[in-house]
Chain A
Amino acid sequence: MNKNKLFSVLVPLVSVLLAFLIGCVIMAVLKANPATALGALWKGAFGTKRNVGTTLARSTPLIFTSLCACFAYRCGVFNLGGEGQFLMGSIACCYVATQSGITGLPGIVLCLAAGALAGGLWAAVPGLLKIYRGQNEMIISIMLNYVATLFMGVVYTNWLREGSVPQTMSVPNEVKLTRLFGLRCTSAFIIAVVIGLLIYYFLFYTSMGFQLRAVGLNMTASEFNGFSVKKYILFSFLFSGVIAGIGGSAELLGTQFRLINGFGAGYGFDGVAMALIAQLHPLAAILVAIFFAALRVGSTTMQAATGVPTSVSEIIQALVIVFTVAGLALVKLPEFKAFLERLFPARKEA
């Protein structure tokens, strides 16, 4: 049995349990019955076919941003700019969708491509500054998040504003993504999962992905062994931006249809959190994103049924990340390993 793998699954699970435990205490303090509340939460997220569709729809942008974070971190760069890249993608997509007049499948492809390009370019800024100026990619990418948010503000309050409400016009029906089985969930979810699978294949089954991971784990050794470290860093930034950019476009074409205040807000950091909980595994990231989406969708039902405010579910989500990261560090400590050995004396020496 591989202990490391066991722990990498066990730690997040225990963290989720602990977070729910604290969540239940909070519910009890708020004079709600935790069992009823959790039941409502479950029902809201997965109770009906319709709710499952809603949960998957909510998970879609989260999958994109967490894959974005995963991909960059695998190469050792902390792209905290997922949100900005997501927004720039959606802005470019919005322009193509509303201004180009191209519709149908070519229109959709063009919209997504524009979003991918914009996301990638926005990510190239911190990538290039890191490579050529040795600059801290975290601060730069976060600053660019604020710039992107404000820029989107310009777009929906000015340039593409429709009527008196500060929002853009809606994208035409012809480029909206198709709903799956008549649910709220659209083909965007399929795109997200396919991208996740592709990333998984790339990272673990191709030579380039292998080298990219090596760069992420030890840049000096990678350089000595002939890998072009700078190219990989730039590539990982660009591609993680592309993923976020497609995510922004898909969210626009599949769910929101127009840019408006609060579009995409918080998705970037959510993505980082999920990537960390998933320990940078792209397939795990998809599952974690669905779990987080379920908490969010279910919490609305919970609030309606038991009066427990939705922010309780936000606290649970935040606690999961706090516990997971701490737990993963804990199980690596020599003291913890020694403790385990005392607890379960080794059956056979390896």
Chain B
Amino acid sequence: MEEILRMEHITKKFGEFYANKDINLDVQKGEVHTLLGENGAGKSTLMNILFGLYQPTDGQIYLHGKRVAIDSPATAVKLGIGMVHQHFMLVEAMTVFENIILGDRNTRGIFIDKDARRKEILELSARYGLDVELDKPITDIAVGAQQRVEILKALYRGAELLVLDEPTAALTDMEVEGLFRIMKKLTGEGKSIIFISHKMREVLHISDRITILRAGETVKTLNRGETTGEELANLMIGRELAPSHYEKVSESREPVIALSQVDYHKQSKHNGLNGVTLRVGRGEILGIAGVDGNGQSQLAQLVTGVIAPEGGTVDLKGSKVATFSPNGFISENVSHIPEDRNKMGLVGNMSVMENIVLKETDDPQFSDAKGWHLKKRAIRAYAEKMQQKYDIRCQSVLQEARNLSGGNQQKVILARELENEPDLLVAVHPTRGLDIGATRFVHDTMIAARDKGCGVLLISADFDEILEMSDRIVVMFEGAVMGEYSGINPPIDQISLAMAGK
């Protein structure tokens, strides 16, 4: 075995915070080396250091045994490091071909020598089984294909070491299999891969070695054959993984919302709904499982009135919805924790206080004369009460919401959406990017709302979250419902198959 990369004692401080602390990592030629860790464990920071986006506060990097200083992505590329970011770095308005040759410095001449470049790319793509359609714009190809373009891009630049940052997050099981085939082929040809993931099943399947990071530090490096999923999970979280401790409810109840044969942009596999029928009862959590981009966003927007269906009916609390508007749903006591809290949930430049009362300034509690005079003192007192109750950590309720951490931003939204005891709560990826403490808080709050009789529609790409929280589970694939399962002892294998469209 020949060592490709060694990172020694890597430390990265942001202010007083250690994102990486004394991390060691080595990668051999031809291996898949997995970096395993929770959100915020320091995986991305470490990889951004390797790719020259961040400079380490301390520590050394060796490539092929030689010490290197990587001061920019350009240097990293020159040294043979390629990175496929979790959010693809593809220019959507350009074609696959243009994306691959972008920033090219290896060839001479002012003009693009299309024929020669195409030949090179096609050779590469044949060699590694990376089939792509060169002349299609990026917007017209599927996520899996976009990922192949990213890998081709790295290989075209002569990458010997490839970093794949959570490459399976947005893929179906089929596409994941395809990716794994490509990874095998790459390592077979002597390339090395750093694979970042937190999906145990995949990690155990594809890795040669696994390095676990926790809270910015290296925990351990293990060989695949010598470990189990359970051990990895425990190492990753740092304690025994507690099983779901929420009581599930099973009896069927009167529906708060019921969708019947609902269509929206039916033809679109990724952004539409196709004959969706489902209902959410009072006092239960219905979990929507599925890979991101199978119509979940549209479902969420539909049941909060942001978009209107093109076919089918929606019954809200027993009566058919005639006009769809967010305002109409809000006045029917529907609450929404939207998928993108900064874009859809909060007005970042307004204060925590203003965001807490955002929807209710017309309420007599907060204004006189039908909204023509705001009771500033009452608003502030209320906001401070909510700050206590929902444990929102901020300097004062006058602080701008955009300066809060993700967890505290989400708590601001919870305070606004849950305090007036909604009949229906639509929660989309409610714990995405949150640490364990905040996640637990959000989950507890949602369960408490359920127990008070609120119907909860939980949409999440985090399968574990769905399993832990849901009383019933519905799987969505390409805009359609694939099946419905009980949340008590759910058939995990069946559900994963359904998520892949089988």
A–B direct touch in complex (beta carbons closer than 8 A): yes
Q: A207-B361, A218-B348 are in contact. List 9 more A-B contacts (CB 8 A).
A: A206-B371, A211-B361, A217-B347, A220-B344, A221-B344, A221-B346, A224-B336, A224-B345, A227-B327
Does residue A30 face the partner (Cβ distance < 8 Å to B)? no
Does residue B136 face the partner (Cβ distance < 8 Å to A)? no
The residue in chain A whose Cβ has the minimal distance to the Cβ of B345 is: A221
Please tell me which one of the listed residues B306, B331, B366 contacts residue A223 in the complex, with CB atoms under 8 A apart. Answer: B306
Does residue B17 face the partner (Cβ distance < 8 Å to A)? no
Does residue A29 face the partner (Cβ distance < 8 Å to B)? no
Within the assembled complex, what's the spacing in Å between the Cα atoms of A205 and B372? 7
In the complex with contacts A225-B359, A350-B395, A214-B347 CB distance below 8 A:
yes
Does residue B321 face the partner (Cβ distance < 8 Å to A)? no
Within the assembled complex, what's the spacing in Å between the Cα atoms of A257 and B358? 47
CB distance from A217 to the nearest CB of B (A): 5
Enumerate chain A residues within 8 angstroms of B329, measured Cβ to Cβ.
Answer: 226
Within the assembled complex, what's the spacing in Å between the Cα atoms of A208 and B361? 9
- Interface 1/0s, chain B 93-130, versus A by CB < 8 A? 00000000000000000000000000000000000000
Enumerate chain A residues within 8 angstroms of B182, measured Cβ to Cβ.
Answer: none
Within the assembled complex, what's the spacing in Å between the Cα atoms of A134 and B373? 33
Within the assembled complex, what's the spacing in Å between the Cα atoms of A206 and B327? 19
Within the assembled complex, what's the spacing in Å between the Cα atoms of A217 and B347? 6
- A/B interface sample: 25 pairs, CB < 8 A: A205-B373, A205-B376, A207-B367, A207-B371, A210-B361, A211-B361, A217-B348, A218-B346, A218-B347, A218-B349, A220-B343, A220-B344, A222-B347, A223-B306, A223-B326, A224-B306, A224-B326, A224-B336, A224-B344, A225-B326, A225-B358, A226-B325, A226-B326, A226-B330, A350-B395
Does residue A311 face the partner (Cβ distance < 8 Å to B)? no
Enumerate chain A residues within 8 angstroms of B346, measured Cβ to Cβ.
Answer: 218, 221
The residue in chain B whose Cβ has the minimal distance to the Cβ of A227 is: B327
Enumerate chain A residues within 8 angstroms of B350, measured Cβ to Cβ.
Answer: 213-214, 217
Within the assembled complex, what's the spacing in Å between the Cα atoms of A210 and B354? 9
Docked-complex contact A208 and B349, CB < 8 angstroms: no
Q: Which of A190-237 contact B (CB under 8 A)?
A: 204-208, 210-211, 213-214, 217-218, 220-228
The residue in chain A whose Cβ has the minimal distance to the Cβ of B354 is: A210
CB distance from B366 to the nearest CB of A (A): 8
User: What is the number of residues of chain A that contact chain B, defined by CB distance less than 8 Å?
Assistant: 21
Most B-side CB within 10 Å, residue of A214, A217, A220, A221: A221
Enumerate chain A residues within 8 angstroms of B344, measured Cβ to Cβ.
Answer: 220-221, 224
Enumerate chain A residues within 8 angstroms of B395, measured Cβ to Cβ.
Answer: 350
Within the assembled complex, what's the spacing in Å between the Cα atoms of A170 and B366? 51
For chain A, what secondary structure do more than half of its interface residues adopt (helix, strand, loop), or is it mixed? helix
Within the assembled complex, what's the spacing in Å between the Cα atoms of A225 and B306? 9
The residue in chain B whose Cβ has the minimal distance to the Cβ of A222 is: B347
Within the assembled complex, what's the spacing in Å between the Cα atoms of A211 and B354? 10
Q: Which of B368-382 contact A (CB under 8 A)?
A: 371-374, 376
Give chain B's interface residues, CB within 8 Å of chain A: 304, 306, 325-327, 329-331, 336, 338, 343-350, 354, 358-359, 361-362, 366-367, 371-374, 376, 395
Docked-complex contact A207 and B372, CB < 8 angstroms: yes
Enumerate chain B residues within 8 angstroms of A221, measured Cβ to Cβ.
Answer: 343-347
Within the assembled complex, what's the spacing in Å between the Cα atoms of A217 and B350? 8
Enumerate chain A residues within 8 angstroms of B336, measured Cβ to Cβ.
Answer: 224
Docked-complex contact B373 and A206, CB < 8 angstroms: yes
The residue in chain B whose Cβ has the minimal distance to the Cβ of A210 is: B361
Within the assembled complex, what's the spacing in Å between the Cα atoms of A208 and B372? 8
Within the assembled complex, what's the spacing in Å between the Cα atoms of A350 and B394? 9
The residue in chain B whose Cβ has the minimal distance to the Cβ of A4 is: B400
Enumerate chain A residues within 8 angstroms of B367, measured Cβ to Cβ.
Answer: 206-207
In the complex with contacts A224-B304, A224-B336, A228-B327, A206-B374 CB distance below 8 A:
yes
Docked-complex contact A210 and B347, CB < 8 angstroms: no
Enumerate chain A residues within 8 angstroms of B359, measured Cβ to Cβ.
Answer: 225-226
Enumerate chain B residues within 8 angstroms of A205, measured Cβ to Cβ.
Answer: 373-374, 376
Within the assembled complex, what's the spacing in Å between the Cα atoms of A350 and B373? 33
The residue in chain A whose Cβ has the minimal distance to the Cβ of B396 is: A350
CB distance from B363 to the nearest CB of A (A): 9
Docked-complex contact B374 and A210, CB < 8 angstroms: yes
Docked-complex contact A206 and B372, CB < 8 angstroms: yes
Enumerate chain B residues within 8 angstroms of A204, measured Cβ to Cβ.
Answer: 374
Docked-complex contact A214 and B326, CB < 8 angstroms: no
Within the assembled complex, what's the spacing in Å between the Cα atoms of A208 and B350? 15
Within the assembled complex, what's the spacing in Å between the Cα atoms of A168 and B33? 84
CB distance from A31 to the nearest CB of B (A): 48
The residue in chain B whose Cβ has the minimal distance to the Cβ of A338 is: B15
Within the assembled complex, what's the spacing in Å between the Cα atoms of A227 and B361? 12
CB distance from B397 to the nearest CB of A (A): 13
Within the assembled complex, what's the spacing in Å between the Cα atoms of A205 and B369? 12
Docked-complex contact A226 and B343, CB < 8 angstroms: no
Docked-complex contact A217 and B326, CB < 8 angstroms: no
Enumerate chain A residues within 8 angstroms of B358, measured Cβ to Cβ.
Answer: 214, 225
The residue in chain A whose Cβ has the minimal distance to the Cβ of B363 is: A207
Within the assembled complex, what's the spacing in Å between the Cα atoms of A260 and B330? 53
Enumerate chain A residues within 8 angstroms of B343, measured Cβ to Cβ.
Answer: 218, 220-221
The residue in chain A whose Cβ has the minimal distance to the Cβ of B328 is: A226
CB distance from A210 to the nearest CB of B (A): 5
The residue in chain A whose Cβ has the minimal distance to the Cβ of B16 is: A349
CB distance from A205 to the nearest CB of B (A): 5
Please tell me which one of the listed residues B304, B331, B345, B371 contacts residue A208 in the complex, with CB atoms under 8 A apart. Answer: B371
Docked-complex contact B362 and A207, CB < 8 angstroms: yes
Enumerate chain B residues within 8 angstroms of A228, measured Cβ to Cβ.
Answer: 325, 327
Enumerate chain A residues within 8 angstroms of B327, measured Cβ to Cβ.
Answer: 226-228
Most B-side CB within 10 Å, residue of A210, A214, A220: A210
The residue in chain A whose Cβ has the minimal distance to the Cβ of B417 is: A225
Enumerate chain B residues within 8 angstroms of A225, measured Cβ to Cβ.
Answer: 326, 330, 358-359
10 closest A-B pairs by beta carbon, nearest first, are: A207-B371, A226-B327, A207-B361, A226-B330, A226-B326, A218-B347, A224-B344, A217-B349, A350-B395, A217-B347
Within the assembled complex, what's the spacing in Å between the Cα atoms of A235 and B304? 25
Within the assembled complex, what's the spacing in Å between the Cα atoms of A225 and B326? 7
Most A-side CB within 10 Å, residue of B331, B336, B361, B373: B361
The residue in chain A whose Cβ has the minimal distance to the Cβ of B343 is: A220
Within the assembled complex, what's the spacing in Å between the Cα atoms of A204 and B344? 23
Enumerate chain A residues within 8 angstroms of B331, measured Cβ to Cβ.
Answer: 226
Most A-side CB within 10 Å, residue of B347, B358, B372: B347
CB distance from A10 to the nearest CB of B (A): 19
Enumerate chain B residues within 8 angstroms of A220, measured Cβ to Cβ.
Answer: 343-344
Enumerate chain B residues within 8 angstroms of A223, measured Cβ to Cβ.
Answer: 306, 326
The residue in chain B whose Cβ has the minimal distance to the Cβ of A209 is: B374
Enumerate chain B residues within 8 angstroms of A214, measured Cβ to Cβ.
Answer: 347, 350, 354, 358
